[in-house]
Structure formats: C-alpha cells, structure tokens
C-alpha cells in the first residue's frame, strides 16, 4: 500500500514499544478500564484485542479471567506485550502479529472484540470495523475508542506553543494526522452503523495524564510515536531541546497540588453484533 504515514508502518512501531508504554500507558489504561467496566468480560469468555499496542486492555481483560488474544501489526509491540504477560504470570493471554484489516481468525468465534485507539491508525478504518464485527459470535460485544477534538488536548496545545516559541520559523505539519481521521461521538457511531453493528452507544470520557516529571515525560514523548520522531528529527536537536525547555515551563504553570496533569477526551463506543 502506497503513501502510508510513518504510524501506519509496523517497523516504525516495533522499536519504540517501551517509549510508547512509558509516555501513554497511564492515559490509555483509563480507557481500557472504562471498556472493561462496560463490557464486563467474564471468566472463560473469549476476547480479541486488535491493535493492542503494549497491552493495557489485554492485560486487564486477562486479569478478569477471560481468554485473551492480543493482536498487533508490529512485532516489537507483540513481543513487549508477551513479556508483560509473562511478568504478570498470566497464562490466559496470547499475543500474535496480525493485520487488523485482515485478521487470520475464524468468523463468529469471539465473545468480545475491542480496539482502543488502535484501528484509528489503519489505512482502511472501515475494514477494521468490519473485521471486529466478522469475528464476533451473534450478540457479541464490541468496543472501539477514538479521540475527541484532539486539537483541544492540553498535550497538543502545549506542544504547538512550545515549538512555535522555540523555533518560530519551523513549519508544523499541516496534514491531518491519520489517527485524527476518526474523531467525535457522531463519527464513531456512524462507523459502527456502517459496519452492521446494533445497539450502538457512544460516550465521551475524560483522560487525565498526571506527570511525575515533566522533563522525563518530554524525553519519552518525543520518542513515543513514529510521527513525533519524524517531526523532531526535522526540527533538529538544538530546537528540540529548546522546545522541551519551553514545554516544561508551560506545563509547570498548570501545576496543581505539586503535579502537572494534562487533560484530554476520548470517545468510547460500545455495540453488539
């Protein structure tokens, strides 16, 4: 497939699993826990996690007693998830490399299918939804999480301000990020409907990323996703350092009770096959 963004290439994710986990696990696990509460996976049920990343949802589902298959197109992410499962001594979770647009899974074989800020990266988002539906047993439950108005996120606003201040001559990418092609409750509801799901319910929840150290977060953040890595390579080492100094100062201005918290919102969709 031509003209792919860096974050649609598995090799670009494989080497940054640890950085992604360090930067964003505390945020994505909030969405995972919300989905766990709504879907309520039970012991013995079969659960499929598509574009599972480093495994925030998969691990939580396995701890509920469900039989979990975590899939991701990046081998490095799958290996990282396997190590986490082994460390947690969870033997009811398997992880495999798979393309979420063409899953190597039998029709109507899972009780639950999920993708948390995962299929939003797919070149063909519609195929991702179709596959989540195809693998579900009749009446099976599905959850998909996407972002809501990412331009309003504290993290993105601070990033933009920091780069504009540190390097005013630098031209920020104008193209819509691939993960921002699907945002908001209405768009998520429509994708479920187009894929043939029933009893669709979409809600918006807050995601709060509390930083123990803004300096440490910055170093993780700039290496946490392929587009970020590409952008900061273009920005250059000196300007990246300057932008980081500005980011720390701006973030510190929002400190409450000794901690910096970055707010965001995500849309959580629940539907049935």
The arithmetic mean of pLDDT across residues 234-263, rounded, is 91
Q: What is the pLDDT of residues 253-268, one digit of tens each?
A: 877 767 899 999 999 9
pLDDT at 152 over 90: no
End-to-end CA distance of the chain: 29
Per residue in 231-250, is it b (16+ CB within 10 Å) or e — as a string?
Answer: bbeebeeebbebbbebbbeb
pLDDT at residue 1, rounded to an integer = 47
Domain layout of the chain by residue ranges: 6-272
Q: What is the pLDDT of residues 71-115, one digit of tens each?
A: 999 999 999 999 999 999 999 999 999 999 999 999 999 999 999
Quickly count: other Cβ atoms within 10 Å of residue 208's Cβ: 12
Place of tokens 């300007």: 239
Q: What is the mean pLDDT of the chain?
A: 95
> Which tokens go with 110?
């899972």
pLDDT at residue 43, rounded to an integer = 96
Q: What is the pLDDT of residues 22-61, one digit of tens each?
A: 999 999 999 999 999 999 999 999 999 999 999 999 999 9
Q: Does domain 6-272 have CATH number 3.40.50.150?
A: yes
DSSP string for residues in the chain: --S--GGG-HHHHHT-HHHHHHHHHHHHHHHHHHHHHHH---TT-EEEEES-TT-HHHHHHHHTT-EEEEEES-HHHHHHHHHHHHHTT--SEEEEE--TTS----TT-EEEEEEES-GGG-S-HHHHHHHHHHTEEEEEEEEEEEES-GGG-HHHHHHHHHHHHH-TT-----SPPGGGSSBSHHHHHHHHHHTT-EEEEEEEEEEEEEES-HHHHHHHHTTSSHHHHHHHHHH-HHHHHHHHHHHHHHHHTT-BTTBEEEEEEEEEEEEE-
pLDDT-derived band at 176 (thresholds 50, 70, 90) equals: confident
- Rounded CA-CA distance 160/181 in Å is 19
């Amino acid at each position: 497939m031509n003209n792919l963004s860096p974050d649609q290439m598995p090799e670009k994710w494989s080497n940054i699993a640890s950085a992604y986990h360090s930067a964003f696990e505390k945020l994505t696990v909030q969405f995972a826990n919300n989905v766990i509460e709504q879907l309520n996976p039970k012991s013995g049920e079969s659960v499929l996690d598509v574009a599972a990343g480093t495994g925030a949802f998969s691990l939580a589902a396995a701890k509920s007693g469900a039989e979990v298959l975590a899939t991701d197109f990046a081998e490095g992410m799958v290996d990282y998830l396997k190590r986490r499962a082994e460390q947690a001594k969870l033997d009811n979770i398997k992880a495999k490399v798979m393309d979420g647009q063409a899953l190597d899974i039998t029709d109507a074989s899972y009780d639950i299918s999920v993708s948390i800020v995962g299929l939003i990266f797919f070149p063909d988002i519609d195929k991702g939804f179709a596959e989540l539906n195809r693998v579900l047993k009749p009446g099976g439950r599905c959850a998909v999480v996407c972002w809501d108005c990412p331009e309003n996120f504290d993290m993105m606003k601070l990033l933009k301000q920091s780069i504009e201040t540190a390097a005013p001559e630098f031209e920020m990418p104008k193209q819509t990020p691939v993960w921002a092609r699907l945002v908001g409750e209405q768009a998520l509801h429509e994708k479920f409907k187009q894929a043939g799901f029933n009893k669709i319910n979409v809600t918006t929840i807050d995601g709060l990323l509390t930083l123990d150290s803004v300096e440490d977060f910055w170093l993780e953040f700039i290496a946490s996703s392929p587009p970020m890595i590409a952008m900061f390579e273009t920005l250059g080492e000196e300007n990246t350092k300057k932008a980081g100094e500005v980011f720390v100062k701006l973030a510190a201005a929002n400190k409450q009770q000794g901690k910096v918290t970055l707010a965001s919102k995500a849309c959580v969709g629940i539907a049935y096959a």
